[in-house]
Amino acid sequence: MSRDVLITDNLNNKGGSNEERLDYNDMYNSFKVNMQLNSAYEISFTATYTEQYKDAYNMLKMGRGVWYDDKEYYIEQLENGLDENGLATMQVTAHAILIDLMKNIRIDPKQPTEDNPEVSGDSSSSDSSGDDSSGGSDTPQIGTVVKKTDEQQTHTLQELLDQFFKNNDQGITYELHGNFPKLALDCSGSLYEWLGSNLASFGAYYIPDNYVLKIYDLDSLKSPTDVQMRYLNNVTSVDIQSDGNDFYNDFDVYGGKMEKDITTGGSGNGVNEPVNGDWTPVIQNAASLVGEHLSQSDISLVLAQINLESRGQENAHGGDDGLSDGIAMGLLQFKQGTFNYYCRPPYTNIWHGLDQIIALFNVPGWRNQITGHSGWSPHGAPVSKSPIQAQSTTSTAGANNIVSFCRSFVGKVPYVWGGSTTSGWDCSGFVCYVLNHFGIQTPRTNTVGLESKGTIVGPPYQTGDLLFWGPRGGSYHVSIAMDATYRVGADNYTDGTVYRTIASWPPSFAVRVPGFGGGSATNADGDGSTSTTTETYYALHYHYHDQDSVDKFGLHRGPQVLADSVYDMDTLKQYVKNTVTTDPPTTIENNEIGINDLHLGNTCKVIAPEVNISQMMTLMGISYNPFQPNSDVTLTWNNTGLALKNAIYALYHDIHETNNKIAPNNSYGAIGAKLEDHFKNVESQKQTELSKGQANRPPLLNPSQVASVDAFVNS
């Protein structure tokens, strides 16, 4: 490698024209290379102002380029000072040039301007009381819809990097080495920040090589060597630091967040048959059951199609159209196979008009498939095949049922003295009909007979309360309260069945019937809206438990791991592997005498001959002064695996035994050094897994002493 360190006037990758060599003595005394994977790629030194190297010294400015070992670095930090001789000094830290260039590549969101504003709100409007040809397309259908709440498009690492690198103006490129998962990530901010935040999720490591970013998975990063690390031979100290605060071996993992929308509609008005030949109440009932909002023109369209197909007869038989799939049947002339495809449980009887209308509303874009003046052939996938959930006849749902049922007869059923059917009824006949419909057994009686159906109540009235006019025991009229404000009843020959305010003719008293109505309806004013309940949950779940880790380090329960956007179990487990520390984070460093041309990713062996351990470790960090060949080199190893930790402990134990075997009168005594057990603290460190510290560093041995110890270890 080149032993020269050159300072240039290159600024921001513009290419400088001048360069000066820095003082070799300064480099020998202070130069340091510090390379740590995914963390630091830097050099540092202290330059001294002298007459000979003043030009080089004066070029040391922020952002200038420094060349060493055919690689360029940018100056990021400068600190002025004075040495012991009063000479000006400059402490310099420079990062790999690629670090600065990656900071200049950014993906930022566009902010709104006057020419391109951010628009919110809904530009369309609708009126449920008007003609809505769209059919309320935004209205949820009755049933259950399950969807992924956080499903995101996954990308390969290459696809994400291309967003940064494509047509970049910094002149940099990248290389990928290995296999990486696809993840649901976005690109934003600077490339440098993005790598720091996301690269670990891919299980990836990067190494800057001038203008090329090289990215590796661990297998591709490894580069085998023949180097062996043997204590007291070429290794002068070993330091193990474990932290039991930041790892977990027992926790729950959840992934794939889901959302289930359960839509229930108007519970319907309960009308299953036409009123005096009019199918309008049945159409309204079907629409309420499936959550379909209808305009008056929609109702007219369905009525026209019913009249065309069957003249309103739900038992009508049609032809087979010359086809082998049977005849058309019923109110809307469905064929059996087609009806089975579109019907919604429990409304599956082709001979029931209500069931056929529900099937019609389950045809996609049904408004465009019927015309009212020509036959039709349903097509398209059903809107929903979920069963229509039955509604309770108590509380608000039951109150809404009563209101919908009673209001379906307003203006349609005439007043007939003594009547009690939809062909015509009087006031008490109407109330008896409604009570019987909702399961309150009520023989045909007059107003006085109905007084005994419940207890006397006063205003404010609730849905289902029976309103009476006249004295108790001598009442002459009865009606049914829709809520505290409205009522429905058969008033007289002129008006028939009416919907009016209670205040317009206040009753004398009221009776509340047990099991009928109660509470307040939400549709007394005519609103047949649907309601949707949303359930959220995770589709994937497993419990992570590492018994081997528990046996070695004790139980360490951790917080839940939530990965909303991961919907595949294998991907979820890989995500946990890449992002969660499941063994005690351990830093293993050793100092080597001299540099043997080691590089990040090199694998070396740790050997304990007495216990037959030969464990490969991957070099993840290196710090040294290349200008002092015999100086210490600090090496940091990939050591998260339990097997490696066991190997290191075994090595310590082996050398601990070796120290104990050395007689008091040994080579240490010849140089006046005190015999020490340099690994005395290791056993307690192994037991606690939490202690931090460095093994006592022995005095540097001369070659003959190293040979003696090496011979003893291998004997």
Residues 207, 211: Cα–Cα separation, whole Å = 11
Pick the CATH number of 395-512 from 3.40.50.2000, 3.90.1720.10, 3.20.20.220, 1.10.357.10: 3.90.1720.10
State the average pLDDT over residues 377-398: 72
State the average pLDDT over residues 556-565: 88
Name the CATH topology of 5-103: Thrombin, subunit H (2.40.10)
Instruction: Express as a percent the part of the chain with pLDDT over 90.
Output: 45
At residue 671, does pLDDT exceed 60? Answer: no
Give the residue with greater pLDDT, 328 vs 385. Answer: 328
pLDDT, mean over the chain: 80
pLDDT in tens, 29-87: 999 999 999 889 999 999 999 999 999 999 999 989 999 999 999 999 999 999 998 99
pLDDT of residue 93: 97
Query: How many residues appear in the chain?
Result: 715
- How far does Cα 561 stand from its chain's mean position? 11
State the average pLDDT over residues 219-235: 74
pLDDT of residue 321: 85
Q: What are phi and psi of 113, to 5 degrees?
A: -125, 175
Give the residue with greater pLDDT, 112 vs 615. Answer: 112
The CA distances from residue 543 to 557, 573, 581, 636, in Å, are: 11, 11, 15, 33
State the pLDDT confidence band at 389, using cuts at 50, 70 and 90: low
429: enclosing H helix or E strand? helix 427-437
pLDDT of residue 708: 61
590, amino acid identity: N
Q: Where in the chain is the domain with CATH 2.40.10?
A: 5-103
Residues 46, 62: Cα–Cα separation, whole Å = 15
pLDDT of residue 644: 39
At residue 105, does pLDDT exceed 90? Answer: yes
At residue 435, does pLDDT exceed 90? Answer: yes
At residue 703, does pLDDT exceed 70? Answer: no
Residues 357, 284: Cα–Cα separation, whole Å = 10
DSSP characters over 307-366: HHHHTT-TT-B---TT-SS--EETTTTEEHHHHHHH-BTTB--TT-HHHHHHHHHTSTTG
At residue 712, does pLDDT exceed 80? Answer: no
Q: Which two tokens stand for residue 44?
A: 């540092």
State the pLDDT confidence band at 693, using cuts at 50, 70 and 90: very low
Residues 608, 231: Cα–Cα separation, whole Å = 10
Residues 502, 486: Cα–Cα separation, whole Å = 5
At residue 592, does pLDDT exceed 80? Answer: no
Q: Which two tokens stand for residue 77?
A: 């930090």
Give the residue with greater pLDDT, 671 vs 271. Answer: 271
CB 263 within 8 A of CB 335: no
pLDDT in tens, 263-322: 655 555 567 888 888 899 899 888 888 878 888 999 999 999 999 999 999 999 999 888
Residues 689, 93: Cα–Cα separation, whole Å = 35
pLDDT of residue 112: 82
Among candidate residues 182, 159, 163, 26, the one with its CA nearest the CA of residue 89: 26
Strand partners of residue 254:
541, 562
Give the residue with greater pLDDT, 115 vs 465. Answer: 465
State the pLDDT confidence band at 355, using cuts at 50, 70 and 90: very high
Q: Where in the chain is the domain with CATH 3.90.1720.10?
A: 395-512
CB 2 within 8 A of CB 66: no
Q: Where in 455-593 does DSSP place strands (E)?
A: 455-457, 466-469, 477-481, 486-492, 496-501, 509-512, 531-545, 561-563, 586-593
Coil, strand or helix at 267:
coil
pLDDT of residue 430: 97
User: Tokens 């529900």 correspond to what residue?
Assistant: 358
